Structures are given as C-alpha cells and as structure tokens.
Amino acid sequence: MAFVITMPKFGLTMTEGTVSVWCKAVGERVESGEVLFEVETDKITNEVTAPGPGVLRHIFTPAGAAAQVGAALAIVAEETEDISGLLGAAGQQGASESPHHTSNDAVSRDSNDASSLESGDHTLSEGFRLATPLARKLAREKGIDLGQVSASGPRSIVVSRDVEETGSKQPTISPAAKKYAEEQGVAWERIDQRGRIMLPDVIAEQLKQAGGQWTHPPQEAGSAAVTYPMTGARKVIAERMTRSWQQIPHVTLTREVDVTPLLAAHAILSADLAKTGTKLTVTHFLVKTVAMALQKHPSLNAWCQNQAITIHPDVHLGVAVSVEDGLLVPVIPHACKKDVGEIAEALHDLTTRAREQRLAVDEMRGGTFTISNLGMMGVDGFTPIINPPETGILGIGRIVEKPVWIGDDLARRTMLTLSLSFDHRALDGAEAAGFLQTVHDYIQQPLRLLVKGRR
C-alpha cells in the first residue's frame, strides 16, 4: 500500500512547516512508526513517523524547504508498486517554495483535459481532488479550479480558506506588516509570498527594493559576510517582538530586593527535596512568589487586546527558556495552585523538552504573565519586552552580595534586581509598583508562600 506523506498540523494555528531533516534517504526502507522526518514550525521541532511500512520512494519537499500544512512531502510505497499516479496528483500541490512550478504543472495538466474544465468538473484527470463541500462550493462560485489550490486540511484536503486565499487577488498581510509597509513605502503587493505576509517579509522586500546592497556586500577572501533570510523561529520572534514593541507602551520599573531570607528557606527545602530527586533553585521560589503576587494584582495577570482587558482567575505562568537559535516560552499552567516542589518539577520538565524541541504548541499557549531570567548570565537589570497579549513581564537579574545599610549597621546581604515591564494601556505605575512590593514582601517572609491560592 502506498502512502502520500503530508505536512502535519501541530496545533491549531500552524499553516506551514519546514522539513528540517529527512531521516531516510530515497530508496531506504522505513517501518511503521519509525521516524521519517522532522518538521520545524514557528516555535518547535517535531518528529514525524511513517504511517506504514514501505520504501521512501520519492521526496517532493527537500530538507530545508517549507510546505503548507497538508501538502504532499513524499511517497512511501512498496518497492515495486506503481506510484506514477500519485507522483502526478500529489506533486502538483507540493512544496510551497516553488509555487510557480507547481501551478504551471497543474495548468498544463488541465489543458490536456479541457472538457473537465468546461463541464465544471473539478476532479483532476489523475483522480478525485479531496476537498470539503464548502471548499467545492466556493471554488465553483469563484470559478477556481480546485486543482490549482494548495491544501491545508488534514490528508491534503482542500478546505474553504485554501480557496479563499487562492481566490483573493491580494495576498493576506498582517496588520503590523501592512502598517510598516505603508509607512516605509514598501510595495508589499509585489511580495512573492504564498502564505500570510509578516513584518520580516516586508523588511526583506524593503531591502530588496532598495537595491539589495545588503545581500551583495563587497567580498574579501576568507572574511565574507554571510546573509541569510530569517526563517522559522527567528522570523516569528522578530515579528512578535516588533509588534509588541510597536504596539505596547512599555514602562519598566526596577527594584532591588534583599533575598537573604528566601535563600535561607531555599537552603532548607532544597536539601529536603534533593532526597526525592527534585532539584530546587531560587528561580522556582521566584516563580512561586510571582504567581502568588499576581493573584493579588490581577491587572498584571491579564490580557490586553482588541481594546478589552481580560482578567484571568488562574495564573498560567510563562517562563522564557533560551534554546539553540531562539527563545521559547513554555507555560506552567495553574502555577498559583502548585507548591514550590511541583513548580520545580513542572519547570524542569518543560525546560528539558523545550531544549530538546519536543514541546507541543499548546504547551506554549495560554500564558497570563511571563518571567525572563538573565541573572545567570551576569545581568543586573534589563527592559524585558512584553509577550502579547499579556500585560506584564518580570525580568530577573543576578543575585549578588552587597553591603547594605540596615539601620546604622552595614550588613552583608544578598541582593537581586527585579525589572518589571508593564503595558501602560492596561494599568498604571502605582499598581505595577504595588506588585513589586508584594513580591518583595513574600521574599522577606517566605513562610507566607505556604498558604496558597488566596487573593
């Protein structure tokens, strides 16, 4: 039995993915359940296993190329099986990096079968094109040949949005990208982009239209500058950070906090928990502290979007994790209801899987506040950028011993700098300062962390 391998959909919003590596070469045998290739999406990399046994007969989408969800990537079939029909039918809706080629392909095939076009029959000569009834109806109404539509549904089924995107004369563009393009005078309509045009695409187009000097700097032997397009995670981070910085009026407050009492508590508990195999760090205490403080300051445990503020009853805390070539923010759900040990376990699990690129997309959704820790890199304080639609982000600086005046005495205390960026549309400075005060209070008396979930 032959299988057409298609780009899977990881999470609801994924529309496109990049094949990062093929684990099998063409001609090589693969068993059912064996890893066949890896997909790099906006934020993560997932392994994809073979649906059934066979030989990898043909690859439509080479490693490094992007493809729409549902697009055919390869064919797995028995060695002697005839796959010529599949090669034609699946290939025409192949990888997205060569749209002209595929559409030309489709047109030429259809012109050989003009009667099917005239009769309004949207099946290809190779067979029935999978499409939802609504997609068929829209295609019929718009006079679009389903054969020319790329499929984003599961099993390469054409759904209505595929037809709508094909049908619209202008490609879709994100509001931020459109605004930038208009301000900068970039003709974004000319961008050759199959999917939705994002801000980095506009910037790249701007450079191209400006003469493309950046892509061809003077070269000297052995010291050539390298230019490469932003893709995958980099592209998304760029887009999101730009949007956040442009749209959200950030204010950053910094406050130095004496963490000596917290360290004492940490010393006791970490020894206890070490016996159970759980490694407890000061970060875990800070996560717990922030989760509890957020319950007292709901305007920071909120989303601000579409001119509305949504207050969340539970705290789902995002923790920025630096990974190779990027940044992920896995979310600890219901952080306010977990004790320090449970937070340690949850965060350890998320961090490990984030570094191994094994997080599910939904594990990085639904956060209500984010913590970003640069303390281990020796940073004292910084201005973190809010992760929209959240209303705040707390930067954790390094822990350092300092001489501190306590009354008239100079004492040796352990100090930490907190940097809170907040969305000034959603709340004001006093409320944000109050949050820092609450965090400070918990740190001074860590015993109070024992009573959980109270406002």
Among candidate residues 226, 171, 236, the one with its CA nearest the CA of residue 200: 236
Nearer to another protein, 196 or 255 (CB): 196
What 3-state class would DSSP assign to 179?
Answer: helix
Among candidate residues 288, 259, 282, 329, the one with its CA nearest the CA of residue 448: 288
- Return the range that interacts with another protein (CB under 8 A); candidates 78-86, 132-140, 202-210, 225-233: 132-140
- Return the range that interacts with another protein (CB under 8 A); candidates 82-90, 122-130, 150-158, 280-288: 150-158
Nearer to another protein, 20 or 172 (CB): 172
Distance from C-alpha of 140 to C-alpha of 146, rounded to nearest angstrom:
9
Interface map 1-30 toward another protein (x if CB under 8 A): --------x--x------------------
What 3-state class would DSSP assign to 240?
Answer: helix
Q: State which of residues 29, 137, 216, 279 lies at the interface with another protein (CB under 8 A).
A: 137
- Return the range that interacts with another protein (CB under 8 A); candidates 152-160, 168-176, 257-265, 406-414: 152-160
- Return the range that interacts with another protein (CB under 8 A); candidates 97-105, 128-136, 348-356, 390-398: 128-136
Q: State which of residues 124, 135, 293, 418 lies at the interface with another protein (CB under 8 A).
A: 135
> Is the distance from CB of 288 to CB of 340 less than 8 angstroms?
yes
Residue 132 engages another protein in binding (rule: CB under 8 A): yes
Q: How far is the CB of 401 from another protein (least distance, A)?
A: 43
The number of beta carbons lying within 10 Å of the beta carbon of residue 313 is 10
Alpha helices in 370-428 (DSSP H): none
Q: State which of residues 157, 238, 273, 399 lies at the interface with another protein (CB under 8 A).
A: 157
Q: How far is the CB of 141 from another protein (least distance, A)?
A: 10
> Is the distance from CB of 306 to CB of 348 less than 8 angstroms?
no
Residue 154 engages another protein in binding (rule: CB under 8 A): yes
Q: State which of residues 26, 117, 134, 376 lies at the interface with another protein (CB under 8 A).
A: 134
Please pick, among 312, 424, 440, 441, the residue that the annotation labels catalytic: 424
Distance from C-alpha of 31 to C-alpha of 290, rounded to nearest angstrom:
48
Nearer to another protein, 141 or 401 (CB): 141
CA dihedral angle for residue 419, residue 420, residue 421, residue 425, rounded to 10 degrees: -160
Residue 360 engages another protein in binding (rule: CB under 8 A): no
424 is catalytic: yes
250 is catalytic: no
Nearer to another protein, 56 or 135 (CB): 135
| CA distance readout (Å), 168 to 7, 161, 164, 171 | 24, 10, 6, 7
| CA distance readout (Å), 320 to 33, 261, 292, 452 | 32, 25, 19, 24
- Return the range that interacts with another protein (CB under 8 A); candidates 100-108, 153-161, 373-381, 421-429: 153-161
Q: State which of residues 27, 62, 366, 453 lies at the interface with another protein (CB under 8 A).
A: 366
Nearer to another protein, 15 or 242 (CB): 15
- Total binding residues toward another protein, as defined by CB under 8 A: 18
DSSP assignments along 134-150, one per residue: HHHHHHHHHT--GGGSP
Nearer to another protein, 158 or 427 (CB): 158
Nearer to another protein, 384 or 389 (CB): 389
Interface map 308-327 toward another protein (x if CB under 8 A): --x-x---------------
Burial of 404 (0-12, 13-18, 19+ CB in 10 A): middle
Q: State which of residues 65, 83, 98, 136 lies at the interface with another protein (CB under 8 A).
A: 136
Residue 332 engages another protein in binding (rule: CB under 8 A): no
Nearer to another protein, 48 or 159 (CB): 159
Q: How far is the CB of 435 from another protein (least distance, A)?
A: 23
Q: State which of residues 30, 55, 77, 159 lies at the interface with another protein (CB under 8 A).
A: 159
**45-49 and 16-22 as β-strands: parallel, antiparallel, unpaired?**
unpaired
Residue 143 engages another protein in binding (rule: CB under 8 A): no
| CA distance readout (Å), 321 to 350, 352, 353 | 9, 10, 11
Distance from C-alpha of 370 to C-alpha of 92, rounded to nearest angstrom:
43
| CA distance readout (Å), 361 to 80, 237, 354, 421 | 39, 15, 11, 25
Residue 302 engages another protein in binding (rule: CB under 8 A): no
Among candidate residues 124, 128, 68, 75, the one with its CA nearest the CA of residue 98: 68
Q: What angle do CA 385, 389, 392 make, to 5 degrees?
A: 45
Q: How far is the CB of 280 from another protein (least distance, A)?
A: 29
Catalytic residues: 424, 428
Binding residues for another protein, rule: CB under 8 A, are 9, 12, 132-137, 152-154, 157, 159-160, 310, 312, 365-366
